Amino acid sequence: MRILIADDHPFTLQGTKSFIESYGHKVTDTCSNGISALNLIILHTPDVAILDINMPGLDGLDIARKIQESKLKTKVVLLTMHKEITIYRKASEYGIYGYILKEHAQTELEICLQEVQKGNRFVSAHLEDDLISDSIDSNDKLANLTLSERKIIELIAQQKTSKQIAQLLFLSERTVEGHRGNIIEKMGLVKEKNSLLKWAIQNIKS
């Protein structure tokens, strides 16, 4: 199979590439951000795209959604640290073919690729035990944020400016400001200077 790998951690990216090639698969492209990944998928239409979820630009879920919307033939396998059940369900809605936690990749990735090659879907055998229910108390408005908004509020908690966030996530500053406004609205915060920054520093764990 022709495979693309996208992960913003160089060590993980190289390790995954070497592991897959040792089983005789061809890695046609590697990249470290979601925008490059999507462009390469559109350009080369690999059989499989192995994607991390958290990446600059577009995250793995964004790419899976765009592949589904564009009816591309590339099959998505998510290789991730995320154990939240809502993220897994969202990935399933986007028609992914594999969902593997990185801690189990060494034993499961090759099995997953074998199943995907047959046209089957593969979900980690460990997933049921590892999934964390994030059905938080309804007062916790974080549950209403999108993955992109969560990434932005995490960076705000690190006291990054909108300009810095835009550069890190390959977005325009205007888009980041729009996200900030949406977050303030969803969190029910007072629309005053630095209210979101103060809330994020107090409530978001780095």
The matching CATH number, chosen from 3.30.1360.120, 2.60.120.560, 3.30.420.40, 3.40.50.2300, for 2-130 is: 3.40.50.2300
Determine phi and psi for 101, rounding to 5 degrees: -80, 140
Residue 13 banded pLDDT, cuts 50, 70, 90: very high
pLDDT of 138: 34
What is the percent of the chain where pLDDT is above 70? 92
Provide the CATH number for the domain formed by 141-203 in this structure.
1.10.10.10
pLDDT of residue 9 exceeding 50, the answer is yes
> What's the pTM?
0.67
Domain ranges within the chain, ordered by starting residue: 2-130, 141-203
For the sheet containing 98-101, what is the strand order?
26-31, 2-6, 48-51, 75-80, 98-101, 122-123
Are the C-beta atoms of residues 6 and 49 closer than 8 Å to each other? yes
pLDDT of 94: 92
pLDDT of residue 171 exceeding 90, the answer is no
Are the C-beta atoms of residues 195 and 153 closer than 8 Å to each other? no
- CB neighbourhood size of 159 (10 A): 10
Residue 131 banded pLDDT, cuts 50, 70, 90: low
Residue 57 banded pLDDT, cuts 50, 70, 90: confident
Residue 205 banded pLDDT, cuts 50, 70, 90: low
pLDDT of residue 48 exceeding 60, the answer is yes
